[in-house]
Structure formats: structure tokens, C-alpha cells
């Protein structure tokens, strides 16, 4: 991966986003794992974030609300499956915490040191190709993922 261009790959039930960031791996991992950082960039364009609780550990839960630009609040819960600082964060989206598992997928965030920078690979894995297509149709998941990585890039530019 060269440059700061985002590469998006769609294969069957998986969407992979790849991008190089000109920041050390420890910093990139930190902005994915600290509530103070997450509040500044998480989500697609126009969204803001309120964390209810964050237990950043294997098996831990992150309970949060994404506030959409349309004024709608989207409750979310994530369970961390495998954290290997500073190279991997794997988690499962477990719905809104109120029994609604409308969006059910796993994410794997891989951080790879490259010289002074870091290659980021974000994989979103759905139960089937049909489920990926449904979530993309209903929520614009693929474009949202692109904006999510773009907002991360903008935040890193501000703090580096």
C-alpha cells in the first residue's frame, strides 16, 4: 500500500478497507481504543458519538450511541473478541443492547508497522453475501465504512 488512498475490496460477505497512515502504529492503535479519541472521529460523516461505557479488553463491551446528522440516535453495542496491542482489534457488533440485532457483523482491525507509518486493514465480515447487501442497502454500510476511515484520517491530521 502506497500513499494515503483508501482501497476498498468487496468479496462475497466481506468488505475490506485498506489505507496507509503516516503515524506510528502505537498512535493509530490508541485512537481506536481510547474513549477520548473515539469521540473525535468514530462514524460516518456528520455523526457524533456518546460512549455509555467502554471496557476495552477481551470479552469487554463498548456501549455507545451514534447521533446521526438527521437527529436520529443509533444505539450500538460491540463485544471485543481479540485485542493484541498494538496489532489487532477484533470485535462483534451485537446490536443495540435492547434485543435488536438488526446489524450483526464482525470487524477485524489490523495495524501493520511500515517504516515510520502504519498500514491499516479494516475487515467487516457479515453472515452472508445477502446480509452484507441488505445492510448496505438499508444503512449505506460500504460508503459509511469509507467515510469512517476518512474521518479517522482527518482526525490524525489534526493531532499529529
What φ, ψ does residue 66 adopt, rounded to 5°? Answer: -100, 125
List pLDDT tens digits, range 48-95.
999 999 999 999 999 999 999 999 998 999 999 999 999 999 999 987
Nearest Cα residue to 128 out of 18, 14, 34, 36: 14
Q: Please give the pLDDT value at position 139.
A: 84
Other CB atoms within a 10 A radius of the CB of residue 85 amount to 13
- Angle made by CA atoms 85, 89, 94, in degrees to the nearest 5: 145
77 contacts 55 by C-beta, under 8 angstroms:
no
Rounded-to-integer distance, Cα 4 and Cα 6, Å: 6
List pLDDT tens digits, range 102-153.
777 999 999 999 999 999 999 999 999 999 999 899 889 999 999 999 999 9
**Mean pLDDT, to the nearest integer, of 45-49?**
95
Secondary structure E strands in the chain: 7-11, 14-21, 48-54, 61-67, 73-84, 88-94, 104-114, 117-126
DSSP summary character for residue 85: T
Cell numbers of 58, please? Answer: 477481551
Report whether CATH 3.20.20.300 matches the domain 7-159: no
DSSP summary character for residue 153: H
Q: How confident is the model at residue 160 (pLDDT cuts 50, 70, 90)?
A: confident
Amino acid at each position: 500500500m502506497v500513499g494515503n488512498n483508501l482501497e476498498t475490496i468487496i468479496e462475497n460477505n466481506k468488505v475490506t478497507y485498506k489505507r496507509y497512515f503516516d503515524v506510528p502504529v502505537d498512535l493509530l492503535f490508541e485512537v481506536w481504543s481510547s474513549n477520548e479519541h473515539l469521540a473525535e472521529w468514530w462514524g460516518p460523516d456528520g455523526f457524533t458519538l456518546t460512549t455509555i461505557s467502554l471496557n476495552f479488553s477481551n470479552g469487554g463491551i463498548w456501549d455507545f450511541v451514534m447521533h446521526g446528522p438527521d437527529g436520529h440516535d443509533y444505539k450500538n453495542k460491540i463485544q471485543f473478541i481479540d485485542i493484541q496491542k498494538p496489532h489487532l482489534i477484533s470485535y462483534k457488533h451485537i446490536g443495540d443492547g435492547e434485543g435488536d440485532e438488526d446489524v450483526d457483523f464482525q470487524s477485524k482491525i489490523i495495524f501493520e508497522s511500515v517504516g515510520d507509518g502504519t498500514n491499516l486493514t479494516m475487515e467487516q465480515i457479515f453472515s452472508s453475501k445477502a446480509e452484507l447487501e441488505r445492510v448496505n442497502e438499508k444503512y449505506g454500510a460500504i460508503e459509511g465504512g469509507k467515510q469512517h476511515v476518512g474521518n479517522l484520517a482527518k482526525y490524525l491530521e489534526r493531532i499529529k
